[in-house]
Structure 1
Amino acid sequence: MEQAVKLRRATYHIWTFMTSKLISAFGAQVYTFAISFYILQLTGSATSFATNLICSILPRTIAAPFAGYAADRWPKKRIVILSQGAIVLAVGGLLAVSLTAGLSLPAIYATTVVISLAASFSGVTFSAAITGLVDEARIQKAMSLNQMSISLAAIAAPAVGGLLYGAVSINLFLILFMAAEAIALILEATMNFRLFNRKAEAGGEAEKPAEEPLLQSMKSGLSYLRRQPVIMAVIWIALIVNFLFGAFQVGYSFILIEKLKIAPEHFGLTEGALAVGTLLMSIWLSVRKEVKYPLVVSKWGIVSMGLAMGGVAIPLFADIPYVPMTIFFGTIMLISGLSSGIVNTPIMVMMQKNVDDDYKGRVFAVLETMAMSLMPLGTVLYGFLYDLFPAEWILLISTAALIGAVLWLARPSVIRRAHPELHAPKNGHVPQAAK
């Protein structure tokens, strides 16, 4: 296939990928909004709500290593299509139960588990397939547009869900979600997941199944990671950030609602600023040149996120009037959104380029497992701590731990390994960005 034709096809992939993710994420967000309210109205129990949340997080965390193995062994397009189809069938099954016998908690929990498992296989496989879908020069654009679609869905879906909930039946929400996933499936079926496969271009068999059994394949993936100190540093950073950010995820709502008595509508506006910040950063990254030193940029982006997290404690030390306080929290969330965008996209681009194609599925599976595995523990732990200790000191200590850990894990010696060209002397001087 001629290069010009492949580049046109890659352009199609970029926009189709964005559209399918926007539609799918929007449907999922609207469904999550509706099903959460339904469970709370049906039972009035926070435990039932939390159980559904566990049914979403735990299966995805457990399934990620198997998804990585599958993505490295079998055709990626087949895995994505089957995963999307499983989601459509699961929601269709829940709709059939609702129409015939009425919704029940076991049916909702079972559907959540299936959706979570399918999302794990689809998400890991798509992460491993980016370099097969898009030319190397536009990986950052593809990743930015993907993040942009998720941010747009996060902004629009709660508003649409809030307008529809109570006015229409829960069955309409299920139909909306099922239709969104079906459209995403059709769009993804038109994509060539082996467009830029290096084995295919070299005349070999693309997507050739590995000969290793499951356990040996996972060991090989871990062995590969141990030989990649920069990638290991990124994984440890993801693990620590996700754990310590539990202080922010739990503390933000607790402080604003319980401590400062912010009105629900104003609280919603401040939370919306997070998605707006991520969206703005994604737009900027999609039109600018690729970030030259992603680990350096992400390092300082995480430091900015940590400072924003610590900033949430300021109103607990100072008596700030209501309106300026609301604006202050909106600004904090906007900064957090901007910072998360500049952290995630450059690092994912670096991973896409540096990880061997034969190990991509397993590496991204490990990254997802490590990132998600401590989230439930962090949430529970910080929920317990906020009931026992002053919220402001929990935030400040967690902020110091977060910034200290990132500065250590992304220390100059690691930066030198990730970006050796950054430290090459120019006219006898070492670039300041290397520090």
Structure 2
Amino acid sequence: MDEALKLKKATYHLWTFTISKMISSLGSNVLGFGISLYILAMTGSATSFAVNMICSIIPRTLLAPIAGMMADKYSKKPIILIAQACTVLTMGGLLTYSSIFGMSVTAIYITTAIYSITSTFIGITFSSSIASLVDGERLQKATSFNQASLSVAAIGGPALGGMMYGFVSIEVFLIIHMAAYATAFLLEATMDFKLYSKKEDKSEGDKESFLQSFKEGYRYLKTKRVVSIIIWVALWINFFFAALNVGGTYVLVQLLHVNSRHIGIIEASGAVGMLVASIYFATRKQVKYPLLFSKRSILLMAISLGLMTIPLWIDFPYIGIVIFYITIFISFSVFGVFTNTPIGVMMQTEVEEEYRGRVFGILETMAMAMMPLGTMLFGVLFDKFPAQWILLGSSSFLIVITLYMLRSSVLKVAYPELAKETKSFKLTEKIQQP
């Protein structure tokens, strides 16, 4: 294919991918928030609400490695289109059921579980496809647009979900979702997932079984020390992120007695920070040393976590508390994007295409597994110990883990040229000394 035509298609992919992800991410947030309100209205039970969350988390945790293997083993476009079509049919199934029998909590649980499965296959397959959809120079921009779509969904999802819950019936709610996911399906159907692909199709005799493919993915990961370290760092970040999720709300509501309206503004400011940081990355050149850049961002994120404790030590006026936590949530979100975007680009370039799906599947499983574990653990800790010590401890542990796992020897393995530049700088500095 002519290079100019490929670049034109890559530009088309960049925007189509962004719009499709925006629809999917916004739909997921609207659905999650709106369905939660419907469950609470139907049952008035926090347990029912929690069960629905479990129906969302468990399928993603268990099926992410399988989704990754399928993304590596089969053509990516049919996987995404079939999963997206199943999403539309799932919404249609719940709509039909509610029209005939009336809405039930069990039907919502089943819908949530199926939606979690389809979104897992779509998300992992898309993540492993980015480097095949756009050229290398636009990898960072595509990753940034992906982050931007998530932040817009985080801002607009709850607001739109709450508005739809208040003004439309559950049937209209589901019809809107069907239309949105059908639009995403049509957009994805026009994309060429092999535009920049370098993977050769295997002959029938060379194709691996699922078990062999799974084992091969883990063997490959063991040979990629830097990628393995990135996955472990991501695991610890997700674990300690639970300290913010649990502790942030606990501190604001229970200890500082912040008004619920202002808590909404504080939490929304985090999504605004994500959006601003994503736009910044979309307009700047690709980061030269992504792992080093991300290391510094994680350290700043950990420091922001520790700074959350300041109003617990020092008396602030009420408006000062609100402004302070808006600043902290924006900072935390900005540093989160500064961490995720360079690492996301690095994962696209460092992991060979034939293993990319399995690696992203392993990453998804480990990240999802740590979320409920961290949430439960920090929930217990915040009930038993002073919040400021838990937040400071979490901040300190994250700093120590980051400094150890991303130490100089690891960075030298990732970037041998960085070590040469450092030696050259030191030598020049020594020569210039009188």
Identity of aligned residues (%): 49
Contact 2:38 2:165 in 1 (8 A): no
Measure how far apart 1:337 and its partner are. 1.1
Of 380-389 and 169-178, deviating more is 169-178
Tell me which residue corresponds to 1:135. Answer: 135
Tell me, yes or no, if the aligned pair for 1:133 and 1:196 is still in contact at 8 Å.
Answer: yes
Distance apart, 1:426 and its partner CA = 6.4
C-alpha deviation, 1:127, in angstroms: 1.0
The verdict on how the C-alpha distance between 1:32 and 1:426 changes in structure 2, with shifts beyond 3 A counting, is closer
Deviation at 1:374, TM superposition (A): 1.2
Match of 1:115 in 2: 115
Equivalent residue number for residue 144 of structure 1: 144
Separation in structure 1 between the aligned mates of residue 100 and residue 253 of structure 2, nearest angstrom: 40
* Structure 2 residue aligned with 1:336: 332
Which stretch of structure 1 is more off in the superposition, 9-18 or 171-180? Answer: 171-180
**Count of aligned pairs between the two proteins:** 427
- 2:52 maps to a residue whose letter is N
Amino acid at match of 1:348: G
Return the match for 2:302 from 303, 306, 313: 306
Matched, 1:269 2:248: no
Paired residue for 1:362, among 358, 367, 370? 358
CA distance in 2, matches of 1:210, 1:251: 51
TM-score by length of 2: 0.95
* CA distance in structure 2 between the aligned counterparts of 1:208 and 1:347, rounded to whole angstroms: 35
Query: How far apart are 1:210 and its partner, in Å?
Result: 5.8
> Is the Cα contact below 8 Å between 1:73 and 1:209 reproduced in 2?
no
Determine the C-alpha separation between the residues in 1 that align with 2:374 and 2:405. 20
Deviations 1:98-137 (A, max 9, x none): 2222211110110111011111111111111111111111
Q: Give, in angstroms, the shift of residue 160 of structure 1.
A: 2.2
The correspondence for 2:274, drawn from 278, 283, 293, is 278
Matches of 1:210 and 1:327 in 2, distance apart?
60
Contact 1:140 1:285 in 2 (8 A): yes
Query: Amino acid of the residue matched to residue 382 of structure 1?
Result: F
- 2-side partners of 1:48 and 1:208: how far apart? 47
Deviation at 1:206, TM superposition (A): 7.7
Query: Counterparts of 1:307 and 1:367 in 2: how far apart (Å)?
Result: 25
What CA distance in whole angstroms lies between the structure 1 residues aligned with 2:81 and 2:423? Answer: 54
- Whether the 8 Å CA contact 1:27–1:176 is kept in 2: the answer is no
Counterpart for residue 43 of structure 2: 43
| Unmatched segments (≥5 aa) in structure 2 | 428-434
Q: Which residue of 2 aligns with 1:410?
A: 406
List per-residue Cα deviations over 1:206-258 (Å, max 9, x = no partner): 89896111111111111111111100110110111111221111111111112
Q: CA deviation at 1:167?
A: 2.1
Equivalent in the alignment of 2:171:
171
Contact 2:79/2:125 (8 A) holds in 1: yes
Letter in 1 for 2:265: L
Q: Is the 8 A contact 2:247 2:387 kept in 1?
A: yes
- The 3-state SS of whatever aligns with 1:374 is helix
Summarize deviations over 1:182-204 as a string: whole Å, max 9, x none.
111110010000011124xxxx5
> Counterpart of 2:264 in structure 1: which amino acid?
G
User: Partners in 1 of 2:219 and 2:354 — Cα distance?
Assistant: 13
What's the offset of the Cα at 1:35? 0.6
For residues 90 and 207 of structure 1, the distance between their equivalents in structure 2, rounded to whole angstroms, comes to 35
Give the TM-score, by structure 1 length: 0.95
Letter in 2 for 1:181: Y
Structure 2 residue aligned with 1:82: 82
Paired with 1:146 and 1:298, the residues of 2 have a C-alpha distance of 17
- Indicate yes or no: 2:160 matched with 1:160: yes
Contact 1:75–1:207 (Cα < 8 Å) also in 2: no
Q: Secondary structure at the match of 2:128?
A: helix
Cα separation, 2, equivalents of 1:206 and 1:178 = 36
**Which stretch of the first structure deviates more once superposed, 15-24 or 421-430?**
421-430
Identify the residue that residue 58 of structure 2 maps to in structure 1. Answer: 58
Partner-residue secondary structure (3-state), 1:400: helix
Task: Tell me, yes or no, if the aligned pair for 1:24 and 1:181 is still in contact at 8 Å.
Answer: yes
In the other structure, the counterpart of 1:420 is 416
Q: State the alpha-carbon separation in 1 of the partners of residues 423 and 385 from structure 2.
A: 54
Q: Distance in 2 between matches of 1:287 and 1:321?
A: 38
Do the aligned partners of residues 391 and 82 (structure 1) sit closer, same or farther apart at CA in structure 2, a change above 3 Å counting? same
CA distance in 1, matches of 2:278, 2:202: 32
Classify 1:407/1:210 alpha carbon distance in 2 versus 1 (closer, same or farther; 3 Å). Answer: farther
Structure 1 residue 97: Cα displacement: 1.5
Q: How much does 1:170 deviate? A: 2.0
Alignment of 1:240 with 2:236, yes or no, is: yes
Checking the alignment, whether the CA contact within 8 Å between 1:72 and 1:210 is kept in structure 2 is no
Q: 1:184 to 1:208 in 2, by over 3 A?
A: farther
Match of 1:171, as an amino acid? E
Cα displacement string for residues 137-164 of structure 1 (whole angstroms, at most 9, x for unaligned residues): 1111111111111211221222222333
8 Å Cα contact 1:65-1:366 kept in structure 2 = yes
C-alpha separation between the residues in 2 aligned to 1:425 and 1:98?
65
Establish whether residue 28 from structure 1 lines up as the match of residue 24 from structure 2.
no
* TM-aligned CA distance change 1:13 to 1:75, over 3 Å: same
Aligned equivalents of 2:424, 2:20: Cα separation in 1 = 50
Cα distance in 2 between the residues matched to 1:205 and 1:385: 51
